[in-house]
């Protein structure tokens, strides 16, 4: 069965007006929860007409990219780089690279002091997005809902720190009781292309039922890395420098020293870790960061990757945040692994000559 074709739409970033739809080869795309996704491809330039269209549509930093698979939107983001190439035979092409919509927030800074007292953490996140999109030229059409997390925060972000808005959102969510966020791309019931801020406490969850993936079966290969190089069971975080006492040396505030005594009791060696939050001035906030950092560091890094034949399993970008039931039977798992995982990342390879359509899923324990 042939896979639905992919179509690359190039639009004006601020208005989303379609500029052109161009052919693309060597296409690769990925998307994640917790970090930016990317898309790359090569636009062939076979004649003067296509060259003129490409010059008008491919404007890094100003062009929005939507990737459609059949009738569905599978990826959306901002074109950031383009490189025109000519080979030895004179054939021209343009290599393009784009990042998901959240990469825009890495190019926006807070130039005014922002204060919130006793405000739901989701409203703080939306307030930062409002700040970005209320500036002239800053509205790129990111939408959001009205859901709340039920957890209030006190936050003051100083304009003198010149923080990136993306960093503020990441730090806001990276505390005990925090949240995950991403900007999803999809087509709504009215057929509109939508960029929407997605929030989830403590994690983003989608779907109501598990998708079963078997190896051998739709899962054609897998990688199971276990990395303890960043594992820790004791943690302390360092905050902003305290300059309140001019007669004393200026030193940073420190979080409580947190130790996972159960790990030591279970036989683990003591493994220390630390983190820096140079703009955090409140002890309670710093302690919340340290608690979240310790919880992540105790687990070590285990991110299973499975490669799925898309002709044999219902895989799409809507799986991000969904649960899958993975069943593996081989020499390493003679009694069969049967466990639930959450999909936290996805890399898709569209079909090319001699290469079937496949998806690599990045998983974490559900």
pLDDT, tens digit, 9 for 90 and up, residues 87-119: 999 899 999 999 999 999 999 999 999 999 999
| Mean pLDDT computed over 17-35 | 95
Q: Check if 6-103 and 211-225+303-365 are the same fold.
A: no
| Beta carbons of 213 and 219 less than 8 angstroms apart | yes
C-alpha angle 197-182-3 in degrees, rounded to nearest 5:
100
Cα four-point dihedral sign 195, 201, 203, 205: negative
* Among the listed residues 106, 115, 307, the one whose alpha carbon sits nearest the alpha carbon of residue 213: 307
pLDDT in tens, 65-89: 999 998 899 999 999 999 999 999 9
Token pair of 30 as six digits: 């990925």
Tens of pLDDT, residues 130-166: 999 999 999 999 999 999 999 999 999 999 999 999 9
Give the DSSP letter of residue 109.
Answer: B
- Helix or strand or coil: residue 31? strand
Q: Structure pTM?
A: 0.90
Structure tokens at 79: 């074109």
Predicted pLDDT at 247: 64
| Domain 108-200 part of CATH 3.40.1580 | no
Is residue 3 predicted with pLDDT exceeding 60? no
Arch. (CATH architecture) of 6-103: Roll (2.30)
Spell out the domain ranges in the chain. 6-103, 108-200, 211-225+303-365, 234-297
CA–CA separation, 212 and 326 (whole Å):
6
* Local confidence band at 365 (pLDDT 50, 70, 90 cut-offs): confident
pLDDT digits (tens, 9 = 90+) for 201-218: 999 999 878 899 999 999
Q: Do residues 75 and 81 touch, judged by C-beta distance below 8 A?
A: no
Residue closest to 238 by CA, chosen among 164, 173, 290: 290
Q: What does the alpha-carbon distance between residue 67 and residue 3 come to, in Å, rounded to a whole number?
A: 15
pLDDT reported for residue 246:
65
Residues 6+ apart with CB under 8 A from 75: 29, 31, 37, 39, 65, 66, 67, 100, 185, 317
Buried residues in 90-113 as b, exposed as e (16+ CB within 10 A) = eebbbebbbbbbbbbbeebbbeee
CATH of 211-225+303-365 among 2.40.450, 3.30.70, 1.10.3470, 2.30.29: 2.40.450
Place of tokens 């991000």: 320
Q: Taking all residues of the chain, what is their mean pLDDT, rounded to a whole number?
A: 94
- Res 343 pLDDT > 70: yes
d(CA 139, CA 101): 12
Give residue 1's pLDDT band: very low, low, confident or very high (50, 70, 90): very low
Instruction: Give the C-alpha distances (Å, rounded to integers) separating 72 from 116, 275, 300, 316, 349.
Output: 38, 41, 37, 10, 16
Look at residue 244 and tell me whether its pLDDT is greater than 70.
no
User: pLDDT at position 245, please?
Assistant: 65
The rounded distance, in Å, linking the Cα atoms of 169 and 159 is 15
């Amino acid at each position: 069965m042939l896979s639905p074709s992919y179509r690359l739409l190039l639009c004006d970033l601020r208005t989303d007006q379609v500029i052109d739809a161009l052919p693309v080869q060597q296409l690769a795309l990925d998307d994640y929860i917790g970090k930016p996704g990317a898309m790359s491809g090569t636009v062939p330039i076979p004649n003067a007409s296509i060259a003129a269209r490409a010059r008008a549509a491919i404007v890094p930093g100003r062009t929005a990219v939507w990737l459609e698979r059949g009738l569905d939107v599978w990826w959306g983001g901002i074109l950031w780089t383009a490189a025109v190439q000519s080979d030895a035979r004179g054939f021209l092409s343009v290599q393009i690279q784009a990042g998901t919509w959240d990469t825009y927030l890495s190019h926006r800074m807070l130039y005014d002091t922002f204060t919130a007292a006793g405000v739901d953490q989701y409203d703080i996140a939306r307030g930062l997005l409002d700040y970005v999109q209320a500036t002239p030229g800053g509205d790129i059409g990111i939408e959001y809902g009205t859901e709340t997390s039920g957890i209030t925060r006190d936050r003051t972000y100083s304009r003198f720190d010149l923080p990136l808005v993306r960093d503020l959102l990441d730090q806001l969510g990276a505390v005990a009781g925090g949240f995950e966020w991403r900007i999803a791309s999809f087509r709504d019931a009215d057929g509109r292309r939508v960029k929407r801020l997605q929030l989830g406490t403590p994690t983003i969850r989608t779907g109501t039922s598990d998708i079963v993936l078997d190896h051998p079966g739709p899962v054609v290969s897998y990688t199971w890395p276990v990395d303890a190089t960043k594992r820790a069971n004791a943690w302390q975080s360092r905050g902003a420098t305290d300059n309140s006492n001019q007669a004393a040396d200026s030193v940073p505030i420190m979080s409580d020293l947190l130790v996972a005594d159960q790990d030591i009791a279970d036989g683990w060696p003591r493994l220390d870790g630390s983190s820096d939050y140079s703009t955090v001035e409140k002890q309670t906030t710093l302690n919340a960061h340290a608690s979240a950092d310790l919880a992540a560091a105790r687990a070590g890094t285990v991110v299973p990757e499975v490669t799925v034949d898309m002709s044999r399993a219902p895989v799409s970008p809507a799986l991000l945040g969904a649960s899958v039931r993975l069943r593996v039977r081989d020499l390493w798992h003679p009694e069969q692994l049967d466990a639930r995982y959450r999909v936290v990342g996805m890399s898709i390879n569209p079909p090319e000559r001699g290469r079937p359509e496949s998806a690599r899923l990045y998983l974490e324990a559900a």
